[in-house]
Chain A
Amino acid sequence: MASGSCTNGDPVRVDFRFRRELAEKIEGNLASFCYQCGACVGDCPATTYGATFNPRELMLKVLYGLSDELMVTDSILWQCANCYNCHERCPQEVKPVEVIISMKNMLADRGIYPDAVRKVIETFEQTGRTTPLSPAVDRQRAKYGLSPLPPVPMEEIQKLIEPASIEGDEA
């Protein structure tokens, strides 16, 4: 089930370009330590409550570099609930959830992520918060004796989230 080209018997050509790109992301390279034991599967709620999601299979796809199955609109990666059970259970410290998030970074580099995700990211990039300020929010706060929320110094945030500059920082 959902194994796609992992197990159909044909020889698999490992896509090293995909693997190299993933290794650039923070903790993206950890899948290399996966020995396919399946300890991450039993407590994965996306496996229990979904039909096709399986963190062990995802790590196998990563090892093969099956980019066509992973780097797509509505990728199966978005079924992960970010519960960190796999991180807790993995004897190899693969942190499957972190590998999944690193692949989401690759999806973002390609400009493909679900609308709901895009919306929250945009709110953060514009306001420095994921839940935006409004006069109604401040009125609610005043009702409980809380001061209005101060704006976030956005010049600083924008400077921080700009990719590495051509002057070569982060070289």
Chain B
Amino acid sequence: MTRVAFFPGCLIPARHPPMEFAIRYCMRNLGVELVDLEGASCCPDPIYFKSKDKLSWLAVAARNLTLAEDLGLDVVTNCSGCTATLSESYHLLQDEQLRAKVNERLARIGREYRGTSRVRHIVAFVRDEVGYETIRESLVTPLDGLKIAIHYGCHLLKPSKIMQVDDPNNPSVLEKLVSALGAVPVRHRNWYLCCGKACQIGDIPTNMMHGLLGTVNDEQADILCMICPTCFGQFDHGQLKVMKQFDEEAYTPPIYYFQLLAFAQGVPYEELGIERHRLKPECLRRFTSVAAEERKVSTDGAYQEP
């Protein structure tokens, strides 16, 4: 089994436990052992705390990375925000002066950053270390013919020199991950647009979302798939808000990629945590298979090892 340090961040564990459940479930099925990092904090977030003081932000990020260094493992992140912070910190800390400055801070708590653990977004990790074929082999309910619009979000791809995930002008990793489920990926015209969550003033975020959703809905996909929990929030309750504000009826229900994979690996629709979505991907119900129903669920709702 491949072992990696798992950095789930704040948003997924606290606000979207079903996403974390899906990741742990899927990774186990794909032969990856996720090792939890004891004592980890917020990455810290690349929008708010970074706006207060970059040096403190970097010092806290470096501390999180040292937890993985202690275990001799690379870090896998599941949130594009965490990936932005930790990848950028790894990159910035290659500068000797800055590293010395940060290590002075870390010395206050008896730690030292060495730069020995790489940071990888779970999407890149799955592509490179697991492979699309292994995903295909893990499926119980292939999503044949399901039309899936894709949203990459910003921090998976950019800045590309730092993130090193995919071509920022023509990425393919999400298309391929979706195809591995048997589904048909579609790229909407505004695929590169930001979800707008980080913008703090005025109508800009709403206008951005409106522009984005227009081209998503044009594709008439069954669902919209993404890999960032912040984008997900924008596409769920954010989409509802935009629909109300612009008095529009068309929508595309969003889902986080690993919940989709968990479904295709046999977790029944009712157990995916969809009841918490404002816009529900009911179209998935047509795939409910005998295999999925036979799967055993323990009394507290947790899954037994397959």
Contact = CB atoms under 8 A, between A and B. Distances in A.
A74 B265 CA distance: 48
Interface in A113-162: 113-114, 116-117, 120-121, 124, 128-133, 137, 140-146, 149-150, 152-153, 156-157, 159-162
Given A84-B159, A101-B50, A146 B41 contact: no
B208 A170 contact: no
A104 B51 contact: yes
Contacts of B17: 137, 140-141, 143-144, 146
B104 A78 contact: no
A53 to B, nearest CB: 8
A149 B24 CA distance: 15
Given A124-B42, A144-B20, A144-B301, A79 B201 contact: yes
Nearest to A82: B198
Contacts of A102: 54
B131 interface: no
Contacts of B201: 74, 76, 78-79, 114
Given A81-B204, A146-B17, A121 B54 contact: no
Contact of B53 (A43, A108, A150, A156): A108
A141 B19 CA distance: 10
B60 interface: yes
A153 B45 contact: no
Interface residues of A, number: 62
B204 A144 contact: no
Interface string A18-57: 0000000111000000000000000101101110010000
A116 B198 CA distance: 11
Contacts of B273: 144
A47 B63 CA distance: 36
A85 interface: yes
Given A130-B42, A160-B108, A46 B158 contact: no
Interface string A96-113: 000001101101100001
B246 to A, nearest CB: 14
A124 B45 contact: yes
Nearest to B21: A144
B158 A152 contact: no
Contacts of A26: 54-55, 58, 92, 98
B34 interface: no
Interface string B184-226: 0000000011101111111111011001000000000000000
B253 interface: no
A127 to B, nearest CB: 8
Given A88-B160, A159-B108, A121 B10 contact: no
Contact of B109 (A43, A83, A152, A156): A156
Contact of B204 (A49, A84, A143): A49
20 contacts: A45-B194, A48-B208, A88-B159, A101-B50, A105-B53, A113-B52, A121-B51, A124-B44, A130-B49, A140-B17, A141-B17, A143-B17, A143-B300, A143-B301, A145-B298, A149-B14, A152-B42, A156-B109, A160-B105, A169-B108
Closest 3 interchain pairs by CB? A145-B302, A144-B21, A83-B194
